[in-house]
Structure 1
Amino acid sequence: MTRTQTTEAPLDSTTIIERGRRVLALEAEALHLSEQALGEPFADAVRLLASCTGRIIVAGVGKSGLVGRKIAATFTSTGTPATFLHPVESVHGDLGIVGPDDVAILISKSGESDELLGLIEALARLGVKRIAMTAAAGSRLGRLCDVTLDLLVKEEACPHDLAPTTSTTVTLALGDALAVALLQAKG
């Protein structure tokens, strides 16, 4: 079977629309759950970011890294110095941008990304406070950070659970919530 062949019948408009609505419904439900569950860890994260006298360092690998770049850009756009640090590049010299007055936001759905866990050790040695954003609060990432924000994602919209979809939506929205809450906290 070639890439363009499929085992399913051709898709009619109704099927396509239903599938699109399912994705939006799953993501909307996950955002609603995150909104309802938002609590003291979020307030702790905003207070930690507000006390930062350096810059916010955002890190993640893969799709989490792509979302992390946008989150760093949002912080910068709202008046808080921030930069994205790729965990792999950090061990090849880029860790030099990090100082003890910085606060790091570390993003990983599983909370077990080896590249990110290696960066955590270096950040801890530098005395950098760490905020985890993960769908596995009990993961190593969650346990090694000062504050853990649980993404509460139980199901990706991707039917094969291969592509991060719901998790990236929730991560992006939570990053926006942090940036706007921080903007307001700083006046």
Structure 2
Amino acid sequence: MAALDAKTTILNAAKRTLLSESKSVADLVNYLDDDFVKSVEIIYQSKQRLVITGIGKSAIIAQKIVATLNSTGTPSLFLHAAEAVHGDLGMLQKDDVVICISKSGNSPEIKVLTPLLKRFGNTLIGMTADKNSFLGKESHYILNAFVEEEACPNNLAPTNSTTAQLALGDALAVALMEMRNFKSEDFALYHPGGALGKKLLLRVKDMLDTTHTPQVTPDASIKKVIMEISEKRLGVTAVIENNTVIGIITDGDIRRMLNNNDTFTHLVAKDIMTHNPKNISSDILVSDALNTLENNAITQLVVIDNGNYKGILHLHDILKEGIV
């Protein structure tokens, strides 16, 4: 096959797939009904877990839906349909709500498992492309994941069907989020290690290095100032008088002093310091501190709590946390 023909074939196949799958997802809007509404309400009102099961590609989709629900406030568990009948059914507890995912709704494993999923009086929600399948008829409620065809040229490999299942799972999760009035702050609680979690949860006191608090007296020599800035490696030192910060000296102040003076033996810290430096409390969010740095085009902030000097917050420390 010529290179040009190969390129055309590849791009056409990709375009057909994406257009076919996007149509299948768009068509799902027409299948949303009272069963979907009731399913969301039952899951929302449940005091127990949500257990999601499936087999084959549907099992992989089930795992992704479980992950999404867990991170958005709906405690969920994945149960593999094949392993369920070999002991894992013990995961299922009384009053758990169950979602069983199967395109056909008629696979042997699903037929064996479906009656068992209701053994404790559990509510069974079937996600299937065939409402008249075994799963469809045995379920209390149906999440209709009907697709006209697969994107696969042989109409065999799960493509449109699994994309539809995934999208329907996302719709379920978002509906539950809105029912719970789930905020970005709530999301952060489930993602404390991610950038969003840090942005919404991390406070200055959580990352402030209190072992390196550069400080000099107002009458300290310039040599002492330079040594303090160099030793603490923050590019700045606070000037402290009577336990109060009266100014700061940055490495930029040192450079400007050298440009303006042939000698500095007659100068002391208070002669070159910046008065009334920008400061913050250690209890504010790091993201708010970052906004202060950006708005003032500076790289360091003095941290002061109730008049007490706590240390220096540097832009580089924030960048290391991955908040930006």
TM-score by length of 2: 0.54
* 1:153 is the counterpart of 2:147: yes
Which residue does 1:5 correspond to in 2? none
Which segment is superposed worse, 152-161 or 112-121? Answer: 112-121
Residues 45 and 131 in structure 1, CA contact (< 8 A), matched pair in contact too? yes
The 5 A counterparts of 1:77-92 are 77-92=71-86
* 1:47 is the counterpart of 2:41: yes
RMSD: 1.2
- Determine the C-alpha separation between the residues in 2 that align with 1:117 and 1:53: 28
- Determine the C-alpha separation between the residues in 2 that align with 1:183 and 1:119: 29
Deviations 1:3-43 (A, max 9, x none): xxxxxx45422221111110001011111110233222211
Residues 31 and 144 in structure 2, CA contact (< 8 A), matched pair in contact too? no
Number of residue equivalences? 179
Deviations 1:38-86 (A, max 9, x none): 2222111111211221111110000000101111111111111101101
The partner residue of 1:96 within 78, 90, 94 is 90
The 5 A counterparts of 1:61-80 are 61-80=55-74
* 1:126 is the counterpart of 2:91: no
* 1:26 is the counterpart of 2:37: no
- Determine the C-alpha separation between the residues in 2 that align with 1:108 and 1:40: 20
* 1:110 is the counterpart of 2:104: yes
Letter in 1 for 2:165: T
SS in 2 for 1:85: strand
Higher relative contact order (CA 8 A, sep 6+): 1
SS in 1 for 2:118: helix
Residues 58 and 68 in structure 1, CA contact (< 8 A), matched pair in contact too? yes
* 1:183 is the counterpart of 2:177: yes
C-alpha deviation, 1:164, in angstroms: 0.0
- Determine the C-alpha separation between the residues in 1 that align with 2:104 and 2:30: 22
Residues 59 and 116 in structure 1, CA contact (< 8 A), matched pair in contact too? no
Identity value in percent? 45
Which residue does 2:194 correspond to in 1? none
Indicate the structure (1 or 2) with the bigger Cα radius of gyration. 2
Q: Structure 2 regions of 5+ residues with no counterpart?
A: 182-324
Residues 95 and 120 in structure 2, CA contact (< 8 A), matched pair in contact too? no
C-alpha deviation, 1:113, in angstroms: 1.6
- Determine the C-alpha separation between the residues in 2 that align with 1:148 and 1:66: 20
Letter in 2 for 1:100: K
C-alpha deviation, 1:119, in angstroms: 1.8
Which stretches of structure 1, 4 residues or more, deviate above 4 A after TM superposition?
none
* 1:37 is the counterpart of 2:24: no
Residues 87 and 115 in structure 1, CA contact (< 8 A), matched pair in contact too? yes
TM-score by length of 1: 0.91
Which segment is superposed worse, 34-43 or 150-159? Answer: 34-43
SS in 2 for 1:71: helix
Letter in 2 for 1:56: L
Letter in 2 for 1:53: K
- Determine the C-alpha separation between the residues in 1 that align with 2:111 and 2:47: 24
Q: Structure 1 regions of 5+ residues with no counterpart?
A: 1-8
Letter in 2 for 1:111: G
Q: As a proportion of its length, which structure holds more strand?
A: 2
- Determine the C-alpha separation between the residues in 2 that align with 1:91 and 1:36: 35
C-alpha deviation, 1:128, in angstroms: 0.9
- Determine the C-alpha separation between the residues in 2 that align with 1:127 and 1:106: 15
SS in 2 for 1:95: helix
